[in-house]
Each structure stands twice: as C-alpha cells, then as structure tokens.
Structure 1
Amino acid sequence: MLAFACAFTMFASAAFTDQADIKVDSDVVDTLVSLGVVNGYDDGSFKPNGTVTRAEMAKMIYVLRTGNSDASAYNDDKTSFTDIGTHWARGYIKYCQSLGIIAGKSNTKFVPNDKVTAQEAAKMLLVTLGYDANKAGLVGINWTSRTNALADENGLLEDVNTSFTGPCPRQYAAQLIYNAIDAPTVVWRDDAYTTNNYGNGDNPTIGEKYMGLHSVEGILTYFQKEDGKSTYNATVENITKKDGTTLFGKDIIAEQNFTKIAKDYFSMKNQKVKVLYKESDKVYGIFALTDSNTVISGLLGDFGEDGGKLKYDGKKYSLANPNTVYVNNSDVKAADVATYADAAKGITKAYNATAISNNDSAKISRLDVAAFAVAQVTYVGKDYINVSYKANNGTQGNPTFKTKLEADDVTYPSDIKKDDYVAVTADVNTADGNVGVTKLDLVTGKITTTKKSPSEDGYKITIDGTTYEKAGDPNGKVKDLTLNSTVSIVVKGDYFVFVDDTNAEAKDIGMMTEIYKEGNRFVATVIKADGSSQKMTLKKTDGYYENGTSTTPKEFDSAVKNGTKAPVLVSYSKSGDDYKVKVLSDKEKAGYDVFDTQTANTVDNKRFTKTSSGKVVSAIDDNATVFVRYKTDSYKVVTGKDLKNWKDTVKFDSTVLADASNSVNYAKVVMADLKDDSMAGGSDVNYGYVYTVESGSNTDEDEYKVIYAWNGSETVELWSDDMSQKISTGNVVEYSIDGNVETVNGAKTEVTIDNIYGKDNNAWTKAAVLGGDYGTDKKGTAYVYATTADVVDKNVDTTAIKLDKDDDAIILFVDTSDDGKNDTGLALSDNMDLSSFAQDTGDGYKVNAVFFKTTDKNGETGKNIIVIDTTGELDNSITK
C-alpha cells in the first residue's frame, strides 16, 4: 500500500477560502481540481460538505477515464434514458453508460440531479477498474454488500470517513477517486479477477492505463531544490519495479533522475518510494511505500542499544547487515547504528536522527543524523541575519558556518528577530539546499527537581513539570543550575543545549536598607524590583549569607543622615513565610558575570566613568534594573535608560551586576546610592557618508561636484563648486550649507566641503566596534578595537570612544559595499545597541567599521567620526 502522502502535485494548490473545513488531505482536493475532475466555486470556496449529484459523478468518471473534460462529442449518442435530453451532463452520462460504468434508477430514468451515495460512487469506480458489473455481482439484490467488499479489497475506502449509504460529500467523493488513481486495474483470468499480469507483476493502475502515467519503485537517495527555482531534483536508485513489473538481477535499474518536481518530498529521502510520472520532468507524485519502509524519527539521545538492537520509545529494532551511520550525509564509519546512538554525549544527543529500514525486512539499515550549531541572532537585516555562535560551530560533524547568513544561501524563519536562539544546520540537511536556520525554545522558570550532578553528562533539571537533560555546557554555567534557581535555558526537545541565564528574574534581587530584630527574629527591609518595600523575616537557619557563606545577620540602618552604613544589593528567596537573603559580592553574583563597586561614580556619554581594573563595567543596558537611594531614606527603581541620561555632575556610589556580550560587560542590575543628595534628574556641523560622486552644472553651465551622501537620516544630494577637492566613495564629508543652486532639474543644495575624512591626513583606521550605544541625541560610547586585520580575536581590550555632538562626533550606519546615489543607510533611533553590528566568526569578530579620532591641545576629545557597516563586515575598498 502507498502511504497517504501525495499525488499529481505538479499542479498548484487550490487554496480555497474554506480550506479549514476540508478534512481530507489537501493533496486529495488539489490534485483532482488540477486534473479538472472536480472544481471549486466562483466565490473561491470548495464546499467540501456539499453533496455530489449523479450527473457530477458521471463527469468525474469521464475525466478520470479520458483525461479530458469535454464530452460534447457524446451529446447526441443514443441512450435509454429519457430524462437527460438537454442536461448539461448528458455527454458524460452517455459515455459512462456505454461502458457499463453507470446504470439508471430504471431502464429509462437516470435521475441526474439526485445525490450519489458513496456506495454508488464506489461501484462506478470498480467498473472503471475493470470489473464487469454483472460478473462481479455489482447488480441485483446483493450489489451493496459486494460493492463494499470489492471497494475495501481494492483500497478505495481508505480515509473515506463518511456514511457509505448516505449522500456523498464532495471531499469524500474526491477521496474515493484519489484512491482509485493508484489502484491496479483488474482483468478476468482463470475464472477470477486479478490485479496481476502474466509476469506476476501488477496490472497498470488507473493512472497508468488511462492517464498515461509511468511508475518506478526504488530508494529516494537525492532530493533538493533546483538552483534559482521553486522546483526540485530527485534521484531514485536501485529500481526494482517499473510500471508494475518487478525487476530482478541485471534488469534492476541503477538510478533514474527527475526534475521540475513541484512539491517538497525531502522527508522521504532514503526511503523506498514509488514515483508517478509521464516524463522525467513531469512528475505527478512520490509515495512512500509503507510496506517496504520502517522509519523512526527523533533526537539521537532518545535512541539506544539493547541486546544488539536499536531501541526507541521502548521498542527494539533488529539491525540489517550492513548498517551505516551518516552524519550530515557522510559515513562516519560507526561500528553499528545501535552502538553509535547509545554512545551519544553532549550536544550530539540533541541532533535530529532518523533510523530507516528500506529493504522490506523491517531491519534498520541506516541512521541519518543532522548536526547543528547553536547561535543567537544579533541583527536582522533586509535580506540577511547576523548571528553569534554559542555552541558547536565547526565541530562534531558541523562545517564552520558564517556569522552573516544571507537569504540567498540560508533559509531562516520570516518572523525571526534579534536575540532569538537558533539551530544552524548544513545545506545537506535541507530540501532547498540552503543552510537551515530554525528557532530554538527559550524556557524560563524555577528548577523544582534535579537528578545527578551538574558535571555529569546525564544531569537533569525539571522546570514547570518538564524535565530537560543536559546536552553540553559550552559556557560553563550548568554548575549554577541548582535546585530552586530561576533560570533561562535554550532547549531542543527534552535537552538543554545552552544556558542563557542562571538568574533569570531580576525581581529576585533587591536593595536591602536595614536589618533589625523583632523578638528573637531578624527582619530585613528590602526594596524590590517593582519599587515596593518588603519586610522579610529571615529563616532561623541559613537565612542570611555574606561572601557566599551562611552567617548571623548584623543589625544596621542605612537611613541615617551622614551615616556610615549604606544599602546593599541582595538576592532573596521565600521559604514558607520566611526568607533567605544573600548579600551580593564577588563570591555571590546571583548568576551574573561581573560584580563591581565604585565610589563617586558618574555617568557621561551614557556610560559609567569609573570601573575596576580587570572587570571593566562602563556600558549600561537599557533594561537594567536600577535601585536608587536618595535624600537619606527615599528609594526609587528606574531603568538603565533613565540612568544613562543623568547629568555627568551627579555623583553616586555604585554597585553593579553585569553580563558580558561581545567582550563588553553590560550593567544589568545597579544600585546607585546618592546618600543624602536629591534625586538626579549642538552644532551646525553636518556630516555625510559618500556613496558616489558625479559632475553636474547649474543653469549658467558652471561645473559642480555632485555628492550623494548619507547624513544619518536620509540620502542627500550636495552640490559643491570646488572641483579641486578629491572626494570618493567611502569618504565622510563635513559640510556647511550655503543655500541653493539652480539647475535644469530644479533647486539643489549648495554646500561648502569643510573637511574630508577617509583620505590623506584624515585617513581611516580600521576597527571592530564590539559594543556600546548611540542614539538620536548623537551621544554615547563606542567600544572599539583598532586593527589592520579583517578579523580580531575574542577577549580583546577595547577602547571606549566617547561621542558627544558638542565634540563634533558622529556615527554613520551604512552598508559600505553600497555605491549608488539611491542607496540608503540605517537611520538613527533611540538607544541603538552597537553590539548588534558585531559579527562573530566563532574565533573572533569581523572588522565592521572605520574611524577618525583627534584630541585637542589639552588632550580632550576632538573629532570622532565613525562609520559602522550595518552588515557587520567592512568593505575594505573604502580604506584604499
């Protein structure tokens, strides 16, 4: 039997307005509509539950038999029916009557508009298959039971889920005919009907006999999209049956190639299939032969070995001899399928795996494994994405994937967004021949149970009732996935492949302002992340920790003017009515990467001005939770975005928890202690990145240099009468606007070019911009590493470049490979994250920028001109 998969899918899908109401597989209706056997309605609907008339069924049978929808040639044939004289279907009815396919309600009455039953439709199809109605017992008082038996025997009733004696819905009439297309025709031989020919092969099917179809049966070894097209190529090998005839020995066909296949059958790769076609470039369908195949799909870690057999989901499967393991379609020379699967460790446990038996024996002969790398999306462009690899790039069966994944070569979800975690897999694992990108799930919650030790490969944690098993530890954070921790993990199936955050909820962190005793119990007052104040009775045992160690609390009160005690950052968790509080420090960072404290800190250019050697924290995350103490005993919680806008004259003691991203530490939780102080609360210079330069003339035919440049918000056309200046693509011009110049195309902007950057004494310095922020106010900080190379190592020491409009500084965001006058860059927006433009190669970062920087005679910042490539990779031509 054929798996119910597809047929005649070289035709386009019908896409009816009531598609959701169609219960049969969409291929059934789409196929028959494409063949003209059934039709939709003018309003775009199919009306799947509408019933079929006897006349409509006659037309369907006619098209099935002839491949033609015009039966007008039979309109004037003689008939015994007196009620079809001018009926639209009279030609179809007369044709079918002449072949004995249909009968009337009486000798003279066909009753064309009566509803046909599924039983009557099945009888018509049985006659189409070759049964003689009289000889096969399809007439007389027992015709119904005989019809039922033969229809079932010939596979016509598969997936026909409707009353056999009531009016037949349109969708199930289509299902009956669909089943008949691949049913072998029958002949009378040796006093019985048979579907076998004299060579003991199958008789031709209805599709083969009446529609001119051919078929082959073999192993689908190749299936992939044709270059630049929406259709596919396929190769079928070891063909053991052709047009119903079984092939043996030297007659077995080694392979046959097919092209222009409209539907994706990649999921059937390496299975035994039947291909229906007219020509090698006119494939109508590919079916999986379920009697010949055993296919088990899951994740590699879910397979195992038991007594020399492959085990999956409690069932054991014998192995063929030989049997082979393929990772990314390459033979890994494994001892056997079961042993290989049983030995899976780390991230390989989460690889997709398919065990296949394709030789009619049900013994597993092949295990196909698809490796993948874990990455996080850092930027989404118009036709590409940038990703940062977190695990497994270039190892354990993977090629080394690029960090810039372009739509021409990579297929990724249309709804993908920045910070999504994804699995990246090789092109051999996809139907379209592109590198494949699929989303991975991010699970956040409290760990309620654990099993084994975090250092063991089989370590398991349970979150929200689901248990996840460790599949690697690429960032060394699994040790922090402890009982009762609230964490975020990246999962694939029931495996976690990356730890995103070991302290996923900032609300578990607060600012403790005092500890005092009530009776014999210690009570702490904590300002929570939502700004509320909570009195927390500490547990009698292990209720208070300092420097990572349980100890007895010491009473203090920070709300004392000119006092010596300051509030502290703490993490807390509730146990019954009591709390456990941990004072945060270098030894207790609540899962963050960096803990830092500073006195008399300030914010300038959206960054902290004071940091500690070896654990620099100057960058501030917009979404950081910032606890503020002011006016001695007043408290407030603001965001990192708010903190960035504080005046640089406001001094405060800071306690910071930070996480690293692209070698830059970003403050995620901050305590800003203003102590007794109150709560904190350009120029005419223009710049443009030059895309291209042309010559033009005004209405007096004076020659001008015409510069097309990106000014940070739009592409502008600038006219300069100084023809001596050499300006080219990749320069940045500093200009002032003089007025308008009249041209034959209207008034244009006349400018004076004051400076040119990117040439001579103002030459560019190549760099990798790895982090920082910038925005519409043109103030911020860029973390830059200058280099002459094209890639910089990870963990480099970046330099912070301050950007302030008053200092004649600017960042322009463009694609440096653009050189047309209609090209546009990326407009400035609030709080732009510069790490979005860093392209991680796995071993380092691509050079993505150029800059020009000066200082004045006092050593203060002068000019700061930076060009960042929005694709994450600089076009080196602009530095030449």
Structure 2
Amino acid sequence: MKKVLSLVLVIAMVLSSMSFAFAGTFEDIADTDYAKAIEALSALGVVSGYEDGTYRPEKTVTRAEMAKLLVEILGYGDLVSGSKSNFTDTQGHWADSWIALAAGKGIVIGTGDGKFTPDRTVSYDEAITMVVRALGYTDASNEIKNMTWPTNFKVKAAELGLTKDVSLSASGADRGGVAQLLYNALTAVLVTVNSDGDVVKSDDELISRIAERDDDYTVTADKVDVHNKNFAGELVDLAPYMFQNLKVYLNDDDQVVFVKDTNSLVIEGTIDEVDDLTVAVETATGTIKKVTFADYDVDAEDVFENGSVKESDIVLADLEDTETIKIVATDGLGTNKEDGKIQAGEVVGFVTTIQTEAIRLEQTYVAGKTKLDGLTLPEYEDKVDTANIKVTGDVDSLEDIEEDDIVVEFLSEDETVTTLVVTRNVVEGKVTRIDGSKYYISGTAYDLSDLSIVASFDLGDEGVFFLDHNDEIVDYDGSSVGPTNYAVVIGFEPGTITEKFNSTSIDDYPQIKLATQDDETVVFDVYVKLNSSGDVTGSAKLDGANMFSGTDLDDTDTLDAAIDQYSLIKYRLNADGKVNKIEVVNNSITYTNIDLDKTSNKLASDVVVFDATDNDYDVVDASALPTEFSAYAVRNTSGEIIVLVVEADELDSAAEVSYAYITKVNQSFNGSDEEIQTIVIYTDGAKKTVYTTEDDTVANGTKKVYGVKYDGEDIDEATAVPFASAVTASAMNARGAMVKVGANWYAMSEHATVIGVDMSDNTVNDLRDLYDIKAGVTLFQYYLNSDQEIDLIIIQE
C-alpha cells in the first residue's frame, strides 16, 4: 500500500542527507533555521548555551565572543591560559587571553589607536573576515589582496560556501548566524599562504583541529544502544545511520561528533510498491527508485525498526506497512562493483519506522509509570528508560503531552525503544464527499489513518476531526449520521404488504426489538421503500448492503432480516425514527474470562455494560462488576473496553454483595410515586445518599454494617451483619492499597471505604484512608467480600 510522504519527517529516522546532533539541546532553537548548525557546534564543544537552557540565537555577538569562538574551533582553547594581548582596552577583560591568541594567529586585528573594542557588536563583515583568516587566508594571499576590504573576504567566503544559509544583517552578527557561518566552515580545507602569496591547500578540514577523522566507521547495533559500553551516539543520533559505513569525526571519548558523509549506497523515503521481488521507494523529491532482491525472506538482524534490531524475520511484502524506509547497501560486490547502483546481494540492511499504535490521550503521564494511557514505555533496570523515549511533534517531553493530544507510537519489537509523535492538529467541518478511502471535509481530502480509532465516516458526519502528523484522521468528536448507538437484538418481526388496485404498499414495517445502551427496551420500525409493483427500491443498510430485497411482493410475502437474535449491533435512526443503518459488531457472542485486575482490561470511562441474565440485557453500572467474570468485550484502538456483554448470572453469582455502613434511613417516594427508602451510606470511598428499590429494604436500623446489592445508584438488598472483631494490621501498604492481617495480605476492593467511627455510639466521625492506620497500633474492623477483598474498614475512634 502506497504511503503519503509525512509532513513531519522528525521521527526516529529523519529523511535528510545528514544528521549531526540530537535535537532539543536548547529549548529555543527548534523552529529556527540555524538549529542544525547550533546543535553540531554544541556537540563539538564550540558553542554553549545559557543556564536557563536557552541558546538565544537572536542575541548579537561581540568582537570578544567572536575571537573566543574562533580560538575554540581551531582547538587552541587549552593554550590561552596566561596569554595577554597588547590592546589597551582588553587588559583585565574576561576574553583578553582569547583575544591575545587570536591576534597572535592573525585571525583578528585591532580597531585603531591600540584598541580592540571587545564589547562592541561584531559586524558580519568582521565575522566573515575572521573566519576566512582562521582557515589560513591572509591579506597577502593573491586571492584576496587584489580587492578592497570587506569585499575581498566576502567574495572568498562565498566561494568557500561559508555564507550559505546565513542571513546577513547590517545591525550586527547574531548567535544563530555566526553558528551557521562556523558550521559551514567545518568542512572547509585549511590552507597556508607562501611567500609568493600563493594559497597552498592541506589535506585537513577545519573540523580536524577539534576532532579525529575516521573514514571507515560502520554503525552497528551496539553503537546506537545507550546502555552498551560501545555506545557512540550521545552527541549525534546514529540510529538513522544503522548499517551504514560513514566518514565521521570522533572526540577523545570515541563519541561521534560529526558525520561528514556516507560510503554506503542509501535509498530513503516511503514504500511506493512491493511487487514480487522488487521494492520501489518514493524519495522526498518524488523520484521512484527500485531495488530487486534475490529472495523474499529478510532476516530479523538485517532490519533496524523503530530504533532497535527486530526479533522476528520478515518478508519483503511486510515492508509495505512501514512509514519510512532506508535501504542500505555496499557498492563493492559482483561484476558491477562501485557503479553507484544497488545490485542483488549488496543490501546490508533496512532502517524502518512503522506505526504501532495511535491514541487520543485521555490520561496524562504520571512520573515513574511504565504506561502512557496504555502505550508502553521502555524500561531499564525496573525504571522508565527516558534515554530510549523520544517525544517529538508538537511537544518534546512526556510531561507536556496533554488530554486530547493525538499520540502516534513507534515502538520497537523488543519494547526497548519508542518514539511518540504528538499532534495537536484538528479540522472542524462536515464530510461533504467520499471518494474511495478519502473523506472530503469542508472541501479538503483526508485519509483515515490505518490505526484510526474511528472505523469509517458517513456522508454528512460533522464535528471535529483529530489528525496525526501525516494529516490523517485518527479520531472524531461530533454528530455522526452513521451508526453510533450500541444495542442487543432481542427480537425481530417481519413486515407485511398489501396489494390494492394493482398497487402494492407496506402494511406493517418490519420491526426490531433492541435492548439499548440507554437501558431501554425499544421496538423500532426498520426503513424500507417499495414501488407500486412491490419491488424494493430502498431499505435500511446492514453492514453497508441493502437489508431487504425482493420483487413482485404480495400480501403473503414477508420482509426478513439477516440478524441473529441476541447479536450485538450499532444502529442509526433516520428523521422518521426508523432504523436505517445497522452494523453488526458480533452476530454470535462468545464469552471469555475478564479479569479487571489486569492492566490489559482497562475500562473506558463511558463503558456500556449489558447484563445477559434472563436475556433482557439490562444496562448496569460498571461498579456492579466483580473482579473476574465471563463476558464479551468490545475495545477501542487504545485497547480500552468500551462495551461489555456479561454472561448470564455472572453479576449475581460473583461478589454481588458488598459491605457498607448505613447511618440514616428515611421513607420516600420515587419518580413513579412508589414508596421507597432514602438512605445515607458509606461506600465507594464516599458518603452517599441513595435510594432503595423497596420501602423496607433496610429493616434493621442504622449505624450498622450491611451487606448490600448496590449497582451504583440503587440498593436492591441490605442485610445487617454483626460488627467484626477488632484487629491491628501486621503490615501496611497504603500506596498499594493493601493491608496485612496476621499472615494474610488483603487488597482493597473497588467499593472499598475506610471510616472512623466513635465506638461509644457508632457515629461516623469522617472518611479516612489507609494512611490513618498504624501497623500494630490502630484497632479496626474489616469486612471481606466473596473475592476476599476488603469492602469496608471501620477504624475505632
């Protein structure tokens, strides 16, 4: 499947010719034109930022600062100690030693009258002249002396490419522009000028003065692994260069500080097509490049995916699912060696990125947790491995990701490295056209992300559409004309037709009986339209196809629907209140065990729970669920459970009774003018006023412990139980919601409540928590439900 080139190529493998240093060293350069230059010079130790983490690229540079930068980039920084200049206005100045050395090397000169004016802003003419001199050119060189200053030095700088991408300002040289100037000079060749004024070029580049060159440097997995002793990518992100043989510069610690060039053949871009043994890649310029392979199989060790070597082998066709790809090859095999083309057998590896998950964030990051709203965060030595988590896009840290952000995950197969691309791009409007897989919203075409939380859209759907970094739709808030409501099919009745005066009409519409997510049992007509001959000319859609069909209908014919009883569906009504669209979620529900203690069984905040008991499929509150039960679950793409159909009798048989403390009972009428009771109860960690279902549900007085059947709204049964014997805890884990009594540890249940009670009259003083219990000292009573979890603790006060 063809992928559209990403507008944000800042994922783990940035599709650019070279990458020099990790982005994000300085918080104020990300959106500037000089970011790459500043990062490279920072890695080389030439420039530095301020204590507040900024670089301030717009701040102008003084003549003294410029002199120091040139001394540092020439590798003379360790030689300045003790140096003193002859300028009258630099004595005692912080930069005097650097100015003295720079002047001694002929890089800088004074401003007249024996002065240097160190704190004056350096002009671009001066800065350019200083850089050209640092490369070895002098006023006496034949290439410079025949023109007047500053034209002579500016012309030479342009010839050397030093001023490329530098915005020359008449108001003075700023820190960003100077960084670009110095960056451009790094690969310029150092020269000397002989007595005849001729320029003699050396074999060394300027960068060789501060780093050691290695023209045969191969990037392997250990060199990109931050936890490996051979890790060499602290200053330059080497992950995009995996498998490549490079020309690099190293510091004294053998860390790569600068990537000059690659010796490998590299094709990079996005997959256009995989056809048999040929892989076609679309490059950033739109060119299609093809590579033909000898076989379909690709070894795991030859694929560096999402920042780590894969664990399982793949086939060529699997590459179609990647977002970005680099095919890395040598140019030294076969009869066509060193021809600049990738031949069969020359490929040494693939560097790929692939989306593994996309979510719309509901729960923000909590420090130390190994999950971000269900997304896996790499761990190292039982802690979150921040070194292997890259956050990019609209934010650059986990802490800055906010609710409703779209987060696309690129997680390595071994879960040791992840990149999270965060987007805050939304489009508001209506789906005005559908063309294949493209949805037109307010006139602009958008694709649906492969990992979209939304399955599809219907014409007329209107609202806010949440986009990822590829401008593809991931989620949606709004008014949908498609099926949105969940229901269980209770029954179905066919329709009938009547033929009168040689014309056929609908006598009774077919009907469907549904147990809806609003906890109502409703019978709806199903839309169908006949012509005068009895032919179906329109009907409700079932999974996108016409629900009914038939010709020459007469009064004995019926209209049938292919929906099984007790299937789970989503439905939509038309303006007349008839069902006109149905999507079958599951036509034959099968139940599996659900354990809510497992993180994989996270319930969405608006989960719908159908109870299959007696086949009436009542909707119950999620608080009525036991810890373990048998159910059918529907999940969103974040893995959260959004619908549960709980097997019959599961809610009644498991942990149906929880323990609570009742303090007040009043007789009342409900909305149906039925006599009931209003009670004050301590449960679910709170003091609540709720209703009973009968007028005598609570019959044994107040200020007592009751075993209750409670669905989060009403009390169905309440049985008073004796006060338990008082104990003390042998150990506590308040943070983990665990209490140890004797030799047994007990977890707090979902209804767990801790209260302090005055034992003289059983009056509740207030709500408490486990931090109020001191092991071995505090007396309390506790009550276990059938899952052996604590529902209620009464601290004696």
- 2:280 aligned counterpart, secondary structure: strand
User: Could you tell me how far 1:266 is from its partner in structure 2?
Assistant: 0.7
Find the counterpart in structure 1 of residue 369 from structure 2: 383
The separation in 2 between residues aligned to 1:507 and 1:545, in whole angstroms, is 15
Matched, 1:749 2:778: yes
Alignment partner for residue 743 of structure 2, among 727, 732, 737?
A: 727
- 1:60 aligned counterpart, secondary structure: helix
Matched, 1:310 2:280: yes
- 2:183 aligned counterpart, secondary structure: helix
Alignment partner for residue 684 of structure 1, among 695, 702, 705?
A: 705
Alignment partner for residue 26 of structure 2, among 11, 15, 20?
A: 15
8 Å CA contact retained: 2:40, 2:258: no
Find the counterpart in structure 1 of residue 167 from structure 2: 161
The separation in 2 between residues aligned to 1:418 and 1:39, in whole angstroms, is 34
Find the counterpart in structure 2 of residue 278 from structure 1: 251
The separation in 2 between residues aligned to 1:482 and 1:91, in whole angstroms, is 70
The separation in 1 between residues aligned to 2:224 and 2:198, in whole angstroms, is 46
- 1:289 aligned counterpart, secondary structure: strand
Matched, 1:25 2:35: yes
User: Could you tell me how far 1:63 is from its partner in structure 2?
Assistant: 2.8
User: Could you tell me how far 1:134 is from its partner in structure 2?
Assistant: 0.9
The separation in 1 between residues aligned to 2:466 and 2:88, in whole angstroms, is 75
8 Å CA contact retained: 1:58, 1:92: yes
**Number of positions where the alignment pairs a residue of Structure 1 with one of Structure 2:** 577
8 Å CA contact retained: 1:259, 1:282: yes
Find the counterpart in structure 1 of residue 179 from structure 2: 174
- 2:326 aligned counterpart, secondary structure: strand
- 1:684 aligned counterpart, secondary structure: strand
8 Å CA contact retained: 1:486, 1:505: yes
- 2:219 aligned counterpart, secondary structure: strand
Q: Which amino acid aligns with 1:52?
A: V
8 Å CA contact retained: 1:51, 1:170: yes
- 2:220 aligned counterpart, secondary structure: strand
- 1:131 aligned counterpart, secondary structure: coil
Q: Which amino acid aligns with 2:208?
A: E
Matches within 5 A, 1:90-169: 90-106=96-112, 108-139=114-145, 141-163=147-169, 167-169=172-174
The separation in 1 between residues aligned to 2:60 and 2:320, in whole angstroms, is 53
8 Å CA contact retained: 1:619, 1:667: no
Alignment partner for residue 644 of structure 2, among 651, 655, 666?
A: 666
Find the counterpart in structure 1 of residue 585 from structure 2: 592
Matched, 1:184 2:184: no
For 1:488-521, what per-residue CA distance to the aligned partner results, in whole angstroms no more than 9, with x for missing partners?
9999969999999xx995568999xxx9xxxx99
Structure 1, unpaired ranges of 5+: 197-201, 234-256, 333-342, 390-400, 452-459, 555-568, 597-604, 623-639, 646-656, 669-676, 688-703, 719-725, 756-807, 814-824, 828-880
- After superposition, the CA RMSD in angstroms is 6.9
User: Could you tell me how far 1:176 is from its partner in structure 2?
Assistant: 1.9
Q: Which amino acid aligns with 1:68?
A: G
8 Å CA contact retained: 1:294, 1:356: yes
Find the counterpart in structure 2 of residue 707 from structure 1: 730
Matched, 1:5 2:19: yes
Identity %: 16
Matches within 5 A, 1:478-493: 484=459
The separation in 2 between residues aligned to 1:135 and 1:3, in whole angstroms, is 34
8 Å CA contact retained: 1:327, 1:370: no
The separation in 1 between residues aligned to 2:211 and 2:351, in whole angstroms, is 39
8 Å CA contact retained: 1:658, 1:667: yes
For 1:411-443, what per-residue CA distance to the aligned partner results, in whole angstroms no more than 9, with x for missing partners?
697459999997675447x8xx44778789999
Find the counterpart in structure 2 of residue 268 from structure 1: 241
For 1:25-81, what per-residue CA distance to the aligned partner results, in whole angstroms no more than 9, with x for missing partners?
1661684598365664x7765442232232332222223334427846232x5x4x5
For 1:661-681, what per-residue CA distance to the aligned partner results, in whole angstroms no more than 9, with x for missing partners?
99996369xxxxxxxx95999
The separation in 2 between residues aligned to 1:3 and 1:194, in whole angstroms, is 30
The separation in 2 between residues aligned to 1:660 and 1:45, in whole angstroms, is 44
User: Could you tell me how far 1:469 is from its partner in structure 2?
Assistant: 8.3
For 1:238-270, what per-residue CA distance to the aligned partner results, in whole angstroms no more than 9, with x for missing partners?
xxxxxxxxxxxxxxxxxxx66473443212223
The separation in 2 between residues aligned to 1:422 and 1:383, in whole angstroms, is 19
User: Could you tell me how far 1:108 is from its partner in structure 2?
Assistant: 4.2
User: Could you tell me how far 1:179 is from its partner in structure 2?
Assistant: 3.1
The separation in 2 between residues aligned to 1:101 and 1:289, in whole angstroms, is 29
Q: Which amino acid aligns with 1:170?
A: R
The separation in 1 between residues aligned to 2:45 and 2:410, in whole angstroms, is 40
User: Could you tell me how far 1:368 is from its partner in structure 2?
Assistant: 1.8
The separation in 1 between residues aligned to 2:586 and 2:201, in whole angstroms, is 72
The separation in 1 between residues aligned to 2:409 and 2:129, in whole angstroms, is 52
The separation in 2 between residues aligned to 1:92 and 1:546, in whole angstroms, is 80
For 1:131-151, what per-residue CA distance to the aligned partner results, in whole angstroms no more than 9, with x for missing partners?
233114445643434323332
The separation in 1 between residues aligned to 2:239 and 2:148, in whole angstroms, is 46
The separation in 1 between residues aligned to 2:288 and 2:373, in whole angstroms, is 40
The separation in 1 between residues aligned to 2:642 and 2:30, in whole angstroms, is 50
Q: Which amino acid aligns with 1:592?
A: V
Please say which of residues 120-129 and 707-716 is displaced more in the overlay.
707-716
8 Å CA contact retained: 1:185, 1:206: yes
8 Å CA contact retained: 1:426, 1:435: yes
Find the counterpart in structure 2 of residue 549 from structure 1: 548
8 Å CA contact retained: 2:461, 2:481: yes
The separation in 2 between residues aligned to 1:46 and 1:664, in whole angstroms, is 47
8 Å CA contact retained: 1:717, 1:748: no
Q: Which amino acid aligns with 1:215?
A: D
8 Å CA contact retained: 1:59, 1:69: no
Q: Which amino acid aligns with 1:312?
A: E
With normalisation by structure 2, the TM-score equals: 0.53
Alignment partner for residue 582 of structure 1, among 568, 579, 582?
A: 579
The separation in 2 between residues aligned to 1:590 and 1:225, in whole angstroms, is 48
- 2:731 aligned counterpart, secondary structure: strand
Matches within 5 A, 1:162-561: 162-163=168-169, 167-188=172-193, 192-196=198-202, 202-203=203-204, 205-209=205-209, 211=210, 213-222=212-221, 226=225, 229=227, 259=232, 261-279=234-252, 281-287=253-259, 289=261, 294-298=266-270, 300=271, 302-303=272-273, 310-312=280-282, 314-317=286-289, 319=291, 326=298, 328-330=300-302, 348-350=320-322, 352-356=324-328, 359=331, 362-364=340-342, 366=347, 368=350, 370=352, 383-385=369-371, 407=384, 414=398, 425-427=411-413, 433-434=416-417, 448-451=433-436, 460-462=437-439, 464=441, 465-466=444-445, 468=447, 484=459, 542=537, 544-545=539-540, 548-549=547-548
The separation in 1 between residues aligned to 2:52 and 2:317, in whole angstroms, is 56
8 Å CA contact retained: 1:306, 1:316: no
- 2:137 aligned counterpart, secondary structure: coil
8 Å CA contact retained: 2:407, 2:468: no
Distance 1:665 1:346, change over 3 A: farther
The separation in 1 between residues aligned to 2:18 and 2:291, in whole angstroms, is 27
Distance 1:509 1:272, change over 3 A: same
User: Could you tell me how far 1:472 is from its partner in structure 2?
Assistant: 11
Matches within 5 A, 1:794-805: none
The separation in 2 between residues aligned to 1:68 and 1:183, in whole angstroms, is 20
- 1:275 aligned counterpart, secondary structure: strand
8 Å CA contact retained: 1:218, 1:273: yes
Distance 1:708 1:446, change over 3 A: farther
For 1:85-128, what per-residue CA distance to the aligned partner results, in whole angstroms no more than 9, with x for missing partners?
55554433333222222233447454444432223222222222
- 1:310 aligned counterpart, secondary structure: strand
